[in-house]
Amino acid sequence: MISIQMQDALNQQIVLEGYASFLYLSMASWCDHKGLPGCAQFMHRQSDEERVHMLKIFHYISEVDGFARSPEIKQPPHEFESIVELFEMVFAHEQKVTAAINHLVDLSIKENDHTTLNFLQWYVMEQREEEAQMRFILDRIKLIGDGPQCLYYIDKEVEEINKKAAKAPATAV
């Protein structure tokens, strides 16, 4: 059984993960529209992963006898200035998610809630990987440049990441 405070904090995390899923879905559509299939595929995969992140918490709350709430998700933006702005926005959102996960970890320590502390370790690792990946992409864009002639090469770089991800085992909910 988790505390009401922990239950509420985890339900807040569901909102953040759910928003990330819909934000990335919106970005996938923008990338498709701009003729960037590699980036579109990447954002679709990120969107699917965020839904899995949301559902893992949802199931966890039920498992520990709490009450998981289906989130209200605000409308994400549909327009982006450029591909660099889009990836900077992803990176900023991931940093926000990391801060929220750290807050949950702090709360689980404060409450001596070892079960939730253990559950959250997967998210700590996942956030480290996601932030590193976004930093990598932003560094690549800085090297290539983000003018119109560079978009093709940026898309090819992201496609390489997609190929590697396709070989990795899928995450279960």
**Would you tell me which residues interact with ligand FEO (CB under 6 A)?**
17, 20, 50, 53, 94, 97, 130
168 vs 40, 48, 113, CA distance in Å?
Answer: 19, 15, 32
Residue 99 CB-density burial (10 A; 0-12 exposed, 13-18 middle, 19+ buried) = exposed
Contact (Cβ atoms closer than 8 angstroms) between residue 75 and residue 46: no
Tell me whether residue 36 or residue 97 sits nearer to ligand FEO (CB atom).
97
150 vs 30, 137, 146, CA distance in Å?
Answer: 17, 14, 5
Encoded tokens for 97: 């998610």
Tell me whether residue 19 or residue 30 sits nearer to ligand FEO (CB atom).
19
Hey, what amino acid is at 101? I
Q: How far is the CB of 31 from ligand FEO (least distance, A)?
A: 18
Tell me whether residue 20 or residue 36 sits nearer to ligand FEO (CB atom).
20
Q: How far is the CB of 78 from ligand FEO (least distance, A)?
A: 20
d(C-alpha 9, C-alpha 48), whole Å: 22
Which H or E element spans position 172? none
Q: How far is the CB of 148 from ligand FEO (least distance, A)?
A: 29
Tell me whether residue 109 or residue 125 sits nearer to ligand FEO (CB atom).
125
Q: How far is the CB of 89 from ligand FEO (least distance, A)?
A: 13
Q: How far is the CB of 46 from ligand FEO (least distance, A)?
A: 7
Nearest residue (beta carbon) to ligand FEO: 53
Tell me whether residue 57 or residue 107 sits nearer to ligand FEO (CB atom).
57
